[in-house]
Structure 1
């Protein structure tokens, strides 16, 4: 594990056993824990988290892609402390300086006419509001999103979030339609030349190098949905630049541009959901939509915007913003002084510490190292992503690309945790490991993470041969002398 000079404080609070009892008896049963042996974290510093015993973990999940600058970044902490001593809260029906200072700094980071901001508290709130804006401005009702999309968990957003694991059995999604996801790894079209990533899928591809024929086929699916399932005009289209909870899915290179084009022909506003992709995480660009060469009409953002503080925003054009003046619209805590002080400090830290550049350099290095693991282990089917938003797709075998069963994924996740790294989990089958760390991680951290993951994959391979129920196994030895199992 890479060394650090930081020493955590001695913990004196509630015990782990007491916390688990409260969790079981007093908190909603819908709360899940990632591990068979859960962890209680009591302190964070940079890319590290510490449990009540003082044990250190490399946080590669960042509170579900939320801690952008690093845990308890001193500049962000100082900004919050300073604001707490002057003004905690006053309604925005009064004028306080922080919201005005912050929205100027925030909207200066966006191109074109995206200059009007609504400050809210969460990504779900932001997407709720974006949906309302689209419907009010266009006078239309229907909205489309992609299958495998995640745009929030509120009842209003249940239809936009097209993942069975997140949807309850009640009437939802009225006026919302989900198009085929443009997935070049598991979808019907696409392969090795299609996506904008340092690592391409090993799936065979008929596209010439530098071209993607799958793109038009997926755009046609959007057009077909619009022509058959929607009225003549629609309100909007929601797209994550890279799908997060859906499995770090990446589209063909020009898919988003094509989808925007056909949707705009139906009068739609184009909404970029930057909740997970914004604020430099893509490395090459500050915003994920910029990697697709498009200009959205509305941008939603949360998570990394506040480095863990409850903060989110919707940014749109002056023309679209006017529609909210038809009735009273207000958010009690949106844009409060504390949140705006934090958000402003986060933007400063990302710029001053060149975290966007770090995301590109370390993210690309990490993906190329993970590509070597993919070529070594049959269970590792795909590595994909951009910057420090990376997915590792675990499979039973590379030929079928069938998702690795849940118990196997759980074992691997548990082992990586026990060896000191924290990973996320995503995808409809829960078989995609998510890497979305604080953007301050180092090359040494990346090397440590790869070493831990390799050890966990070696142990999984020794513990449980592939295809054990369906075919005899043929043992081979990899370049690093690790036992692997493949079909004869």
Structure 2
């Protein structure tokens, strides 16, 4: 029997009636998505879209990847749920497997359901191990929507509780924010040095009271911010002088996205705690925080996650790790990421008044529009997203001012997909520039 759909207007009507008003969506004319196949998504009307956002870095292995889906379905039909108070094999096999891919001596894993939970658990673990309360975080970072993870989130739009901005609330949670290694109008080296100097000041003032510094190796929602290669090695060395732990929030960057299994691997840095989610389940909710034997030994009070590490999510994650290894997805992301970067930089040369900066690593790339006028850039991003959607491409957006085009596709994307997307993006930028009168005469589309 043919499937029938209520269509975009029907979905929007139910969202308006039953969702909280905080729930938003992309596009003036959004499609109803009903099917996914690897790097492609399909609308209710049969329109095919090449996905260049992957649900914000989630489906690294592709939508409904048959190799992953088959094993997930087999587990779903065998044993769906028990909780960790009973013995099952998938979650211990997954923990063992993760110990083999995590950096350094990180070998202990606590399973949860989401990135927010993983970061919350990591922050708790740091307090338990050090006996200290305070945290250091980077400005414009994003670490979750629980109360503590919002407290260490520097990106204003995601600090949902206005009470967090009151001085008393900041004092209660004891979070010190330092500048991130990026600033418009400042070189990467200078911005990173400013961040290091601020870190030194905080450590000198109250290093003995700080449990951990939490940071995304590459800020995602903050605008795809990649630090200089020396930045995190120097951060780790400074923290060690004061006995402060480093928590690497690899929620977006983990499992091949940046051309390495974990982004911190790019700089040879082994964090004390790593948090992971998103790509680990490639669409199935699974998350975790991992640490060393010594640090994990501090977590002795009874704790559990009802759904964390359940048999189905564990089986899915094991299938994901097998697929990543078999198909060499980190290496693929590194190679194809260069194609995206080179293509976007070529477009920046053609449209210098529109594309201000291109940055990223692996298949986590951002193109900032109109950095000198972020409000205009944000409007242009929305126009480009709409135009690209109509041309059959789904692209993300992020940045403090929401003026950064985000390219974070499934890692199974192909060279042909990328080339065709870049061609369409050139046409979309040309059309937008013509409308705004910002394209010089004779510039080719």
Specify the TM-score bucket, using the shorter chain as the normaliser: over 0.9
Q: Name the residue aligned to 2:369.
A: 394
Write the distance in 2 (CA, Å) between the matches of 1:11 and 1:61. 26
Judge which range, 73-82 or 218-227, deviates more: 218-227
CA contact (8 A) 1:215 1:254 kept: no
Write the distance in 2 (CA, Å) between the matches of 1:402 and 1:30. 23
Deviations 1:404-438 (A, max 9, x none): 34322211211111111111111110001111000
Q: Name the residue aligned to 2:290.
A: 315
Write the distance in 2 (CA, Å) between the matches of 1:456 and 1:111. 41
Q: Name the residue aligned to 1:376.
A: 350
Please state if 1:442 is matched with 2:418.
no
Counterparts in 2 of 1:406 and 1:370: CA distance versus 1, 3 Å: closer
Q: Where is the helix percentage greater, Structure 1 or Structure 2?
A: 2
Alignment of 1:204-223 (within 5 A): 212=189, 215-223=192-200
CA contact (8 A) 1:270 1:298 kept: yes
Q: Name the residue aligned to 2:334.
A: 360
Deviations 1:445-476 (A, max 9, x none): 0011101111111011110135xxxxxxxx74
Number of equivalent positions? 437
Q: Residue 221 of structure 1: CA displacement?
A: 1.8
Q: Name the residue aligned to 1:204.
A: none
CA contact (8 A) 1:134 1:236 kept: yes
Write the distance in 2 (CA, Å) between the matches of 1:386 and 1:405. 22
Alignment of 1:61-140 (within 5 A): 61-140=53-132
Write the distance in 1 (CA, Å) between the matches of 2:369 and 2:413. 24
Q: Name the residue aligned to 1:208.
A: none
Alignment of 1:274-293 (within 5 A): 274-283=250-259, 285-293=260-268
Write the distance in 1 (CA, Å) between the matches of 2:2 and 2:213. 50
Please state if 1:182 is matched with 2:181.
yes
Q: Residue 481 of structure 1: CA displacement?
A: 3.5
CA contact (8 A) 1:233 1:267 kept: no
Quick one: which of 275, 291, 300 aligns to 1:300?
A: 275
Q: Residue 248 of structure 1: CA displacement?
A: 0.2
Judge which range, 406-415 or 266-275, deviates more: 406-415
Counterparts in 2 of 1:108 and 1:14: CA distance versus 1, 3 Å: same
Q: TM-score, normalised by structure 2?
A: 0.94
Write the distance in 1 (CA, Å) between the matches of 2:383 and 2:401. 15
Write the distance in 2 (CA, Å) between the matches of 1:272 and 1:187. 27
Q: Residue 111 of structure 1: CA displacement?
A: 2.8
CA contact (8 A) 2:179 2:194 kept: no
Q: Residue 231 of structure 1: CA displacement?
A: 5.2
CA contact (8 A) 2:42 2:49 kept: yes
Residue aligned with 2:209, SS: coil
Q: TM-score, normalised by structure 1?
A: 0.86
Deviations 1:364-386 (A, max 9, x none): 11111111001110210111101
Alignment of 1:251-266 (within 5 A): 251-266=227-242
Write the distance in 2 (CA, Å) between the matches of 1:328 and 1:187. 50
Write the distance in 1 (CA, Å) between the matches of 2:257 and 2:140. 21
Deviations 1:257-276 (A, max 9, x none): 11222222222111111111
Write the distance in 1 (CA, Å) between the matches of 2:2 and 2:410. 24
Write the distance in 1 (CA, Å) between the matches of 2:224 and 2:20. 28
Deviations 1:293-350 (A, max 9, x none): 211100000000000110001110111111211x211111001000000000000011
Judge which range, 214-223 or 441-450, deviates more: 214-223
Please state if 1:459 is matched with 2:435.
no
Deviations 1:70-126 (A, max 9, x none): 000001111111111210001211111111111111111113210000111000000
Residue aligned with 1:144, SS: strand
Write the distance in 1 (CA, Å) between the matches of 2:151 and 2:73. 40
Write the distance in 2 (CA, Å) between the matches of 1:111 and 1:367. 27
Write the distance in 1 (CA, Å) between the matches of 2:75 and 2:185. 49
Deviations 1:11-55 (A, max 9, x none): 424333322211110111111011111121000001000010010
Deviations 1:146-179 (A, max 9, x none): 0111111211111211011111311355211110
Write the distance in 1 (CA, Å) between the matches of 2:241 and 2:191. 21
Structure 1: 5+ residue stretches without partners:
1-8, 192-211, 467-474, 483-488
Counterparts in 2 of 1:23 and 1:42: CA distance versus 1, 3 Å: same
Write the distance in 2 (CA, Å) between the matches of 1:265 and 1:231. 9
Q: Name the residue aligned to 1:206.
A: none
Write the distance in 1 (CA, Å) between the matches of 2:221 and 2:19. 24
Counterparts in 2 of 1:258 and 1:407: CA distance versus 1, 3 Å: same
Alignment of 1:463-482 (within 5 A): 463-466=435-438, 476-477=440-441, 480-481=443-444
Q: Name the residue aligned to 2:386.
A: 414
